[in-house]
Chain A
């Protein structure tokens, strides 16, 4: 009697044999105890291996997270605030993140304003007490305007990329909810950047762009919470 080849036995064990060959091979198993026992043994191995647990739930990998986070932080342009370990009180963390984003945008505004001569604002048509200008409150390090523009553009791009990443991690229904918001904000940012390209000295435009960037950051946080 001719026994089954190794290919046929392995193919029967993992179900990869073609329909016709499987039928012929199965017919042989009905008449050959040795081949039948061997194929069953292989089937048991395939079943056991393919149902191997995905992981051992021993918490060991939790210990690796701090080192991973540290390596990631080293690679970032703008470091995120320190993460709180418990949710109560994390509104402080979110608030610091908001202030950080506002400060980044405000640096652009402050530096461009310092670099160029300010054009006099139109005199109010009402006879009223002169109103003082409102400067951004978080202006900090002075740096060349071009460098800070780069920071702003990079920050915007980083946020856009993170929106896409967060959407990818949401279940489909929730991703759709976020999509409409993301599109509205993207469009606003695009219009503002276009307007700023034609009128870079306009402080109101710069502030509006900072607000739109803030909205982007808020949306990312909402999506994180929804995933």
Chain B
């Protein structure tokens, strides 16, 4: 795989814009909430623009790592600041840009501790961007933790529903994940004997023995898997999502959970392909259990956000199933699903967030007939629900389809179970839609305002992205293929 270095450091530019936004917010007096929101919108918009540019400027004919930047950072330890993007990370960068920008716009009406909120969100996103573009194990770990540690405050201060419990549980779980990742990283760096944290150097075939790969991959899989919501380590996720404020739920379910899956891919699979093969069966099993469990746990929920939380567990299970097939198609589908699910959940949470802001309830039983009182809000909700169900022409369809096709070939039983579970899942999502948007109207909500044009902007962006990638899946598949084909071809 070739590595093309950048003339202009666009990737660092994205990070610098986040950092500059962070400092500008910190420098603005807390009373000037409107200015803080404008700064946030402009900076997040800039990062989105850069991500879109990269998405289209990436040369799909050459493939490999592009827009690379490399500076020695701590030479004595072999650590370098090494950023680059490939077909796996570009969709993630685009996803981050979209969710970040729309998330900021969604929180336009926030009034409580505005300055701190946006500062923490910028820190969080800085970590996310950094992780997706980094190719140095040290920085991958640093960015991973940078994206975790604002979460506690974001949930505990601005959240709802058992927020302190949710925040503490989430933070401890995710740090427990990093407690496995760091030793595994250091282990690989040392057994390689290369004295480097450079992922591309370490992934050269023959660096690690199969036994070492099996050992390290398991640690990576569990460590990053916690963040990806792999069953049975997912329990932080519904609780955390429910407790978090809207934008944080969007970023968290939309992007942060992808970090987990991306970590398994970028670190686990890239460095330890033998381990990947060895543990694939286990991954498939856990992923299938996650899919089935998420659906059935979701069936019993009475809180709208819990429903989405459990559907995330189920949908991330599809990503896991795709990765576990050890095929090009499985990888393509998994990455596609990561992207599609990110956009879909962001829309879901932003729709529910709006409903909750107005009605102050997330209990399904108390809602009803929203399609008449808030037609636009419920339209967004319904689109998200249909995407989640996997309706054709909406983005998730393609990801799920490709994953299921490849899993039928490799694991017929698990594939069948997963598809069956998804059918049940469709049932339960549609039931939720029916109970909240249709059915008898609740008198209490009759006079609530619908989504204003300003607040509709972020939701419309999400809807159009869903439709765009639902209609033109090759936009994304062509890109992912430039990374997945060489990866699979390079396997021993």
Do A and B share a complex?
A: no
B residues near A (Cβ < 8 Å) are: none
